[in-house]
Amino acid sequence: MKVIRWLKSFIPLTLVFLLVITACTSAPSKYDEVQKDTTGLKAPAAVEKAAEAGGTFNQFFPESDGKYQVVPSQEKKGFAEYKLKRDGETLAMLSINDTISLPAAAAKYENSADSIAGFPSVQQGTTATGLLVNGRYQVKVLSRAQSFSAEDRAAWLEKFDLQGLSNLEANTKAFRRAQKKAAPVITPTPPLVKKPVVEPETVPTLVPQPAG
């Protein structure tokens, strides 16, 4: 009887313990929230060994200014991202990524007729604006608030230290090798050789002479 009573008193404690464990494991972590905020950006994974370290890009981001806060969000090899916040609201995501692992990301700027601060730029959908530095480093601003317009994105792109980023020369040889590897091989067509025109020989015309 004592054993049965002990089991009856132990079962409720076990259930409470299981509920606490389940609640702890299901609660989202701070990292999960950051991932949720940055999912829309679809940040590319830099797999090339020659890709710049994400920490290298931190110095080129805009600084917090007055009512605007520029807050670190995500960093990995070849990629760095910050949140642009005002009064606790995330207005936009600011990022720099090394396109060495994805030359196609840089290729979309080749025929761009637009530029920002002297660098080729493109609109990516209706919420993102990007530009390319040194044919390699993509700087992007992604709107998160509806009030954050294309003009706002362009203005914040100009706040990056683009000239400093353009002086980043590390691993440029490796980048050129990656571009060359990704580019299609085009076999040059040999030039047409014109054959010299041979003029026909001129046969003198014989004029009959009167008999003497």
Host domain of residue 164 = 30-182
Q: What is the pLDDT of residue 50?
A: 87
Check whether 67 has a pLDDT greater than 80: yes
The token pair that represents 10 in the structure block: 């132990």
Residue 66 lies in a domain: yes
pLDDT band, residue 155 (cuts 50/70/90): very high
Residue 140 lies in a domain: yes
Q: Is 90 helix (H, G, I), strand (E, B) or coil?
A: strand
Residue 116 lies in a domain: yes
Between CA 99 and CA 50 the distance in angstroms is 11
In one-letter notation, the amino acid at residue 68 is Y
The token pair that represents 110 in the structure block: 């080749």
Give residues with Cβ within 8 angstroms of 74, minimum separation 6: 34, 38, 43, 80, 81
Residue 7 lies in a domain: no
Check whether 117 has a pLDDT greater than 60: yes
Compare 75 and 197 and report the one with higher pLDDT. Answer: 75
> What's the length of the chain?
212
Residue 202 lies in a domain: no
Residue 203 lies in a domain: no
Residue 70 gets which letter from DSSP? Answer: E
Q: Which residues pair with 131 in a beta bridge?
A: 121, 139
Residue 82 CB coordination number (10 Å): 22
Between CA 20 and CA 101 the distance in angstroms is 44
Q: What is the pLDDT of residue 30?
A: 38
Residue 22 lies in a domain: no
Q: Find how far residue 14's CA is from the centre of its chain.
A: 51
| Range of 29-33, 136-140, 183-187, 203-207 with top mean pLDDT | 136-140
Tell me if the pTM is above 0.75. Answer: no
Question: Mean pLDDT over residues 7-30, rounded?
Answer: 52
User: Given phi > 0 = left and psi -120 to 50 = alpha, else beta, which region is 8?
Assistant: alpha
Check whether 171 has a pLDDT greater than 80: no
Total structural domains within the chain: 1
Residue 81 lies in a domain: yes
